[in-house]
Amino acid sequence: MKIKSLLILATVALFAISCGGNRAKSVTAEAVVEVETLLAGATEYVDKIIEVEGICTHICQHGARKIFLMGSDETKSIRIESGDLGAFDQKCQNSIVKVIGTLCEERIDEAYLQNWEAAVAANSAEQHGDGESGCETEKKSRGETATTTEGRIADFRAKIAARKAAEGKEYLSFYYVVAEAYEVLE
């Protein structure tokens, strides 16, 4: 009788495991990199699954779908977007967080800036942070200093012109990670 009960229990357990529950997605990184290394050689990692960890200095207050990981100092940080994971846990704030995800490139060019200006004129521009100046943490990660939307757009145009003169590229590249998994380490 005990053997029959054990077999039934084992069958129920296997059924429960195989029919869903909380399945963790298994993700393997192609590279494990530090924030500084990732930022310095970002073009090498674009569209690759990477693992990066750093101190979470900020969680976006608009749905907690973005966090920023800092490397050795505040001038070295990268934006992490939650993608399909939903909101990041508030425990991330001021903790070391390990993220596995895909490194993506965002290009800002003249067309991007014109679309931004049109959205501002139509009063439909997406707002982040407090007021028109944008999220201070994101601005810091991009090296921005302007305090108004118009100033930010003008600064981007100046930086694009400088890059075109120096490298022949008519855009700026900013990098971010779309998370597939994350873990709060400390």
CATH number of 26-184: 2.40.50.140
pLDDT tens digit sequence for 67-124 = 999 988 888 899 999 999 999 999 999 999 999 999 999 999 999 999 999 998 888 6
Query: Where residue 66 falls among pLDDT bands split at 50, 70, 90?
Result: very high
- CA distances to 110, 118, 142 from 153, rounded to whole Å, are 10, 12, 13
Cα 174 from Cα 180, distance rounded (Å): 20
- Token pair for residue 94? 């001021």
- CA distances to 26, 69, 81, 107, 156 from 39, rounded to whole Å, are 25, 12, 16, 15, 19
Name the pTM for this structure.
Answer: 0.76
pLDDT tens digit sequence for 141-172 = 777 778 888 999 999 999 999 999 999 999 99
Residue 84 carries which DSSP code?
G
